[in-house]
Amino acid sequence: MSGRAYQLAYGTQEDHRGILLVATYCGIQDQLHANQASKDIQLTTSDGQQLSTFTSICRYLSSQSSKSQQLLGATPLDRATVQDWLSFRNIELHGLSEAQLLKVDQRLQCKVYLVGHSVSLADLVLFATLYRALANIPSAQIIDRYPSLFRWFDFLQHTVDPAGHYKRVDVRKPKFQRAPAPPAPVAKAEKAKAADAQPTTSSTSNTTAQPVKESKGAKAKSTSAAAGSTKERVDAEPAATTTAASGHVTDAATPVETPANASKTAGAAPSEATLPKQDGASKQQKGKEAPAAAKKAGDDPTIDMLDIRIGQIVSVKQHPNADSLYVEEVDLGEDKPRQIVSGLVKFVSVEQMQNRRVVVVTNLKPAKMRDVMSYGMVLCASNDAHDQVEPILPPEGVPLGEKVSFEGYEAEPEAQLNPKKKIFEKISPDLKTGADGTAQYKSAPFMTSKGPVISTLSNASVK
């Protein structure tokens, strides 16, 4: 292949840039010698054969590269789909009217790539064909009128053209709006204290307004009752302390009002000095309840507890003991690939799994699945019926082993998740794909150095 050379005569800069984009992606740009010496486009091969249409030249260059299977299709269905898109481009995309762009936008709904799960020749050719029209449309109009087309185009311009044959189209992306923080939880102890305080104040107020003159016998009885009440309070305090330390609030820490208490308050409203036991018990209860409440609020797991990284499947085989499971070797930029077991046999073929780039949770505790150890989990999107499942897709060019980030969640992940705490199970309900297929935790997208992680399934769960 290294000895081959191709002579390209082109008539327009659009044709030249499109073919150069394909040749560069194929890795054979150095073998292509171009000059603008003809009105019509023409490629002459090293053995003298000539091709004279844009799509036929692109197909031929793709077939001569090491990426021919990826670009032209690995299966009969993929090859037919690539050809369908090329025919659509040749027949319908002339002049690029608004109606034609809307038609493309509709066909791109729920698609990341035009064919399969990686860049194909259809993506490259359609990108080159649409570039001039999209570069001249105001940014806001692209987003409002052609949201699916914009998403696909913007993703490709950041992934398939590192050489910069096309000037980047500056498109204003809609900002992610973070959901407002939930209100701080109110400690149960505070609620109980407020509820207990109200009737006590009312009772004290009524007693103060209507003082009662005590007889000597009543006074002695009142004094005896007060002594009994004090003893009850002292005996109850250890039980109240133990209960408050466990985070639960009972009435044991609150002194019970007796006739003696009422008689003491007959002349004036009580001060802090009048009821030292009640004040001390309340402070003790409040002091011990607050840390318990804070600990409870801090126990809610968040996405930054997971160590999520970009990997690539380097080998895949059927599980020896389970028909529905694959055993994959995934390169995560470590010393050696990790063995991971995934239940994807019913949804993704071996050919589609091989060399696929994936997103992996790497800090789960290793688990044995039907006698085979698994050292991670490949994250997948699934529709509600669970009849469509596929691994979510990182952008092209992300280094293997790169950690996926989430805006607003920047703590260091756990070294290894404790399965008893069910951290992933508590986080997973908030892992979804948006209407545009972007994978996200709550409102924060899965971000890499090359852009967001995506899926062809929109409004799907991720786990």
- pLDDT tens track for 55-73: 999 999 999 989 999 999 9
Residue 263 confidence (pLDDT): 41
List the domains of the chain with CATH numbers: 6-157 (1.20.1050.130), 303-462 (2.40.50.140)
**Percentage of the chain surpassing pLDDT 70?**
70
Contacts of residue 238, Cβ cutoff 8 Å, sequence gap at least 6: none
Q: How far is CA 456 from the centre of its chain?
A: 15
Q: Which two tokens stand for residue 192?
A: 């109980």
Please report which confidence band the pLDDT of residue 178 belongs to, taking 50, 70 and 90 as the band edges: low
Find which of 211-220, 234-243, 274-283, 307-316 is predicted with most confidence, using mean pLDDT: 307-316
Q: 399: helix, coil or strand?
A: coil
**pLDDT, tens digit, for every residue of 330-367?**
999 999 999 999 999 999 999 889 999 999 999 999 99
Cβ atoms within 10 Å of 171's Cβ, excluding its own? 18
| Mean local confidence (pLDDT), 284-308 | 63
State the pTM of this model.
Answer: 0.44
Contacts of residue 290, Cβ cutoff 8 Å, sequence gap at least 6: 187, 189
Residues 59, 56: Cα–Cα separation, whole Å = 5
Residue 189 confidence (pLDDT): 57
Ordered strands of the 444-445 beta sheet: 389-391, 380-382, 461-462, 431-433, 439-441, 444-445
Residues 347, 355: Cα–Cα separation, whole Å = 17
Q: Which two tokens stand for residue 325?
A: 């499971």
Residue 233 confidence (pLDDT): 42
Please report which confidence band the pLDDT of residue 226 belongs to, taking 50, 70 and 90 as the band edges: very low
Q: 220: helix, coil or strand?
A: helix
Q: Judge whether residue 392 has pLDDT over 90.
A: yes
- Any idea what the Cα angle at residue 115 is, between residues 111 and 120, rounded to 5°? 120
